[in-house]
Structure 1
Amino acid sequence: MMLLLICAAIGVLAGLMAGALGLGGGVVIVPPLIYLFHQQGFAPEVVAQMAVGTSLCTIIVTSVSSVRTHHLAGFVRWPLTLRLGVGIVVGALLGAVIADRLSGPMLTRLFGVFAVLVALQMLISGRRRRTPPPSGERLPGAAGLAAAGGVIGTVSSLFGIGGGSLTVPFLSWCRLPMQNAVAISAACGLPIAVAGSIGFVITGWHRAGLPDGAFGYVYPPAALAIVVTSFPMARVGARLSHQLPSATLKRIFSVILIVIGLELIFT
């Protein structure tokens, strides 16, 4: 019961951060799950993999709502999304295999490095002057999009994220309008979450040391508790974003994320 209550609190934080600052997935969910699973006495060699796999599972539900919203708004370019999606599915499965091959402490340290990099990117991007993007799209061919999707899917699955921090910058580099980049990124988050979750279930299915109730590296009780609270709190966070100083909140969260990342690296 204590684990469920703490996961519900994690869901509240994840929902608020997603709605107010556009953050979510592994960046918010994985670090507290690593600490929580350690405190619950889960085997240290599977804690990081379970945190990542469980995070991906929670993204499935939130992605469905996000994709529907962007689709109804008409910003999802489905042919382009499908070409990226081919590589994303393969990459997400590959990311689960790589995570399974890594030791728990190594994956924890890698996530710490990833968290620090995300935080630094948030700090730097907040200081950049916004300039209009160059006109004219420069999309690669089908093979190039599949390759880019493979990289995005692998990294996203490995760290339990929805891929927005990778997909949006890539599509912006391709000179797509930001509305399309965000919408396509949201649509790509669903195959990342589904394929990644399946990969973590399969690779962890016969792993020794898993707690009772685990499906491979996915822990459904924690995932359910997070989803139940994060889903409605995302709407609250979205409303708060119009009233709170988002730039200041991003800086504060970035500093906290750097501290957490460094602690994970040197644990």
Structure 2
Amino acid sequence: MEFLLLFIIALCAGIIGALVGLGGGAILIPATLFIGISLGFIPDITPQTVVGLSVIMMIFTGLASTLSYMKSKTVDFKSGFIFFAGSVPGTITGAWINKGLDLPSFNLYFGILLIILAIILIIRDRLKPVKWFVENGKKMNFVDGNGERYQYGYPIWFALLFTFFVGLMSGLFGIGGGSMIVPAMIILFLFPPHVAVATSMFLVFLTSIVNSASHIYLGNVPWLYTIPVIPGAYIGAKLGATLGKKLKSESLVFALRIVLLLLGVRSIFDALF
């Protein structure tokens, strides 16, 4: 039963992650902790092993999404590698900090993070673009399928600093970081939305490899449970990326805001009570 539940969770995490640029960890982790501990299907799951499971999953959601988005030529590989350079030390640091967290502490901090991410998604569309970063940074151009031209960019020093923080959160909590970096790419760096999502998933793929290596070294990966999670995540990400090319994701983002808020409140409640 736990294998079927994990497959379904990973499938949903892959679809949602690819559609809105998340790695899927924000869905997998609270859902797995719920079925594992609250429902008792995986009694041996811990904050460390669920994060290890999540980062392994995100390799495959990131890979599947990137391969799909490459076909539509919306992945900015240069920016992806620059962001990756900043996130690597953060990812390693976060994985090292994670080993000292017990379940109540993990639930509390993770719940706070989920609520912050939900707030970011709520206010994202109401924030005005900040042109300073483009005007004072590395500039790039993109022409979409309709012939519309975009100019976006960023100071490399700021991108490295910001992605260090994103990597820290990724290593600590096993999330992909897309929910933090996609709004920043759109609002601060003026990325076209589809390029932001596609590049975010490429970054998720790269950082998850480093993140996984750290958690494998620390012994945090429950390899048995990767059996249903990997195919579920890969299939889900392919489906999500395909849908993302055809659909507007406003409705899904709205639902995700509510889900993250509820999951965050529940996680904090479990920690305190």
Q: Which residue of 2 aligns with 1:209?
A: none
Give the aligned residue type for 2:206: P
**In 2, Cα distance between equivalents of 1:83 and 1:217:** 28
1:72, distance to aligned residue in structure 2 (A):
4.3
Q: Letter of the aligned partner of 1:256 in structure 2?
A: V
The partner residue of 2:173 within 140, 159, 164 is 159
Matched, 1:62 2:61: yes
Contact 2:130 2:189 in 1 (8 A): no
Tell me, in whole angstroms, the C-alpha distance in 2 between the residues paired with 1:256 and 1:14. 12
Separation (CA, whole Å) in 2 of partners of 1:246 and 1:178: 11
Does the 8 Å CA contact 1:26/1:56 hold for their aligned counterparts?
yes
Residue equivalent to 1:51: 50
Letter in 2 for 1:151: F
Offset of residue 222 of structure 1: 2.2
Which of 140, 160, 165 is the matching residue for 1:146? 160
In 2: Cα distance, 1:183 partner to 1:65 partner: 11
Deviation of 1:245 after TM superposition, in Å, equals: 8.7
Q: Establish whether residue 194 from structure 1 lines up as the match of residue 197 from structure 2.
A: no
2: CA distance, partners of 1:238 / 1:78: 17
Partners of 1:138 and 1:178 in 2: CA distance: 21
Residue 23 of structure 1 and its aligned partner are, at CA, apart by 4.6
On the 8 A contact 2:68/2:242 being kept in 1, the answer is: no
* 1:176 aligned residue: 191
- Give the CA deviation at 1:194: 0.9
Provide the C-alpha distance between the structure 1 equivalents of 2:3 and 2:91, rounded to a whole number of angstroms. 27
Aligned-residue offset at 1:146: 2.7
- Aligned partner of residue 217 in structure 1, secondary structure: coil
Partner of 2:147: none
Structure 2 equivalent of residue 222 of structure 1: 225
- Residues 1:25 and 1:236: Cα distance change in structure 2 (over 3 Å): closer
1:9 aligns with 2:8: yes
For 1:158, the aligned partner's letter is L
- Residue 273 (structure 2) pairs with residue 259 (structure 1): no
How many residue pairs are counted as aligned between the two chains? 250
Report how far residue 265 of structure 1 moved: 0.7
Contiguous gaps of at least 5 residues in structure 2: 138-153
TM-score, with structure 1 as normaliser? 0.79
SS state at 2:190 partner: coil
Opposite residue 265 of structure 2, the aligned amino acid is: L
In structure 2, do the counterparts of structure 1 residues 159 and 251 end up closer, same or farther at CA, with 3 Å as the change threshold? same
Find the aligned partners of 1:20 and 1:143 in 2 and give their Cα distance. Answer: 29
Aligned residue runs from structure 1 range 199-218, under 5 A: 199-203=214-218, 216-218=219-221
Q: Which moved more, 1:163-172 or 1:93-102?
A: 163-172
**Deviations 1:191-218, CA, capped at 9 Å, x for gaps:** 2211111111222xxxxxxxxxxxx211
For normalisation by structure 2, the TM-score amounts to: 0.77
Consecutive unaligned residues of structure 1, counting only runs of 5 or more, are 204-215
Code of the residue aligned with 2:192 in structure 1: it is: P
Classify the secondary structure of the residue corresponding to 1:101.
coil
Counterparts of 2:123 and 2:108, CA distance in 1: 23
Identity of aligned residues (%): 26
Counterpart Cα distance in 2 of 1:97 and 1:132: 35
1:4–1:82 distance in 2 versus 1, CA, 3 Å: same
Deviations 1:159-194 (A, max 9, x none): 212221222233331233334433332221122211
What is the CA-CA distance between 1:34 and the residue it aligns to?
1.2
